[in-house]
């Protein structure tokens, strides 16, 4: 008994000890919060909410849109950004036939080995090859881009909060910083070589506006290539590159959920029936 009492006495002392130390940190922190000014956050904007065909539980790819987005990537983004987890063969999933994929792959030069000398060289791509990187290595990428390495785009829409909307908003968002912003946050003025964009967390990024004029890309399906159109289409394409199985995933989900719903209803009624006898009073 005395032993148990002492265990609880020790516990009470230890508990008070933890509480005192935690509250000491609290008091010091509260004092600092009152006397010192908290570092101000730069006010960046949440991505715009754009409607896509693959949104929601019944979403499907818009193949035309993916092809348009692919064209924007190929003609604009691929100058600086790699797409290393996507193979040419994957393009068959967005509506290109085998011949088109072969021809497109062959139009790209990929790293290879000279069969006669064994020296590093390049060769035309095959459908099994992956999209080649525009730079031989990160040092070259940094040297060509004001020391900022253009990130790989394969997973970009999954690697940012609200990624698809973020990519589209960012591409459409380049603008001059407003006078109010500069008055309140002088540090938000873009440094040389940086560009203002309210959707980028610290408001200034090294990437120059990539989509500058309507008609920069000519779409095969005749859609007018406004900046908004190009930005939303390439964001859709990058959603596909980030998760090619997105639509298959949603389509698999429905039969699974319908089966489980049915099984759970059955389980509920069998539980009710089995338990019925136990709720009855004796006659």
Partner 1 sequence: MSFPWAKEYTPTNPVMRFFDEKLPLPRLVYNAVGAGYPVPRNLSYFWNFGVLAGFFLVLQIVTGVVLAMHYAANAQVAFATTEHIMRDVNWGWMMRYAHANGASFFFIVVYLHIFRGFFYSSYKAPREMIWLLGVVIFLLMMATAFMGYVLPWGQMSFWGAKVITGLFGAIPLVGEPIQVWLLGGFAPDNAALNRFFSLHFLLPFVIAGVVILHIWALHIPGSSNPTGVEVKQESDTLPFHPYYTAKDGFGLGVALILYFALVFFLPNTLGHPDNYIEANPLSTPAHIVPEWYFWPFYAILRAFTVDFLFIPAKLMGVIAMFGSILIWFFLPWLDKSPVRSGHYRPMFRKFFWFGLIPAMAVLFYCGGAPAEEPFVMLSQIATAYYFLHFLVIIPIVSQIEKPEPLPYSITEAVLGSDDKAVLGKNAKTAA
Q: Which residues bind partner 1 (CB under 8 A)?
A: 4, 7-8, 11-12, 14-16, 18-19, 21-26, 28-30, 33, 38, 57, 85, 90, 151, 154-155, 158-161, 163, 201, 242-245, 249-250, 252-253, 256-257, 260-261, 263-264, 267-268, 270-271, 274-275, 277-278, 280-282
Which residue, 212 or 270, has its beta carbon nearer to partner 1?
A: 270
Q: With respect to partner 1, which residue has the nearer C-beta, 103 or 258?
A: 258
Least separation in angstroms between CB 230 and partner 1: 24
CB of residue 218 to partner 1, shortest distance in Å = 30
Residue 60: CB minimum distance to partner 1, A? 14
Distance in Å, CB of 183 to partner 1, minimum: 24
Q: How far is the CB of 262 from partner 1 (least distance, A)?
A: 9
Q: Which is nearer to partner 1, 207 or 230 (CB)?
A: 207
State how far the Cα of 241 lies from the Cα of 156, in Å rounded to an integer.
9
Q: Which is nearer to partner 1, 39 or 192 (CB)?
A: 39
Q: Which residues pair with 123 in a beta bridge?
A: 110
* Residue number, 115 or 275, with CB nearest to partner 1: 275
Smallest distance, partner 1 to C-beta of residue 167, A: 12
**Pick 102 or 250: Cβ nearer partner 1:** 250
């Amino acid at each position: 008994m005395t032993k148990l009492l002492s265990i609880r006495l020790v516990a009470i002392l230890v508990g008070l000890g933890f509480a005192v130390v935690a509250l000491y940190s609290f008091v010091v922190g509260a004092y600092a919060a009152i006397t010192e000014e908290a570092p101000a956050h730069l006010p960046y904007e949440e991505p715009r909410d754009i409607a896509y065909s693959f949104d929601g539980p019944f979403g499907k790819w818009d193949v035309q849109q993916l092809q348009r987005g692919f064209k924007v990537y190929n003609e604009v983004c691929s100058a600086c950004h790699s797409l290393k987890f996507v193979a040419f063969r994957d393009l068959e999933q967005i509506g290109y036939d085998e011949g088109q994929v072969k021809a497109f792959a062959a139009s790209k030069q990929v790293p290879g080995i000279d069969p006669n000398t064994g020296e590093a060289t390049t060769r035309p791509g095959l459908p099994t090859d992956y999209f080649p990187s525009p730079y031989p290595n990160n040092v070259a990428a940094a040297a060509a881009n004001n020391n900022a390495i253009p990130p790989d785009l394969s997973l970009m829409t999954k690697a940012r909060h609200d990624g698809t909307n973020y990519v589209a908003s960012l591409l459409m968002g380049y603008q001059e910083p407003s006078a109010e912003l500069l008055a309140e946050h002088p540090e938000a003025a873009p440094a040389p070589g940086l560009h203002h964009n309210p959707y980028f967390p610290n408001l200034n990024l090294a990437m120059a506006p990539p989509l500058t004029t309507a008609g920069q890309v000519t779409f095969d399906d005749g859609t007018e290539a406004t900046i908004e159109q190009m930005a939303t289409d390439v964001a859709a394409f990058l959603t596909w590159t980030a998760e090619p199985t997105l639509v298959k995933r949603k389509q698999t989900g429905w039969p699974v959920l319908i089966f489980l719903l049915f099984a759970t209803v059955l389980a509920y009624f069998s539980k009710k029936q089995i338990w019925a006898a136990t709720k009855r009073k004796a006659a």
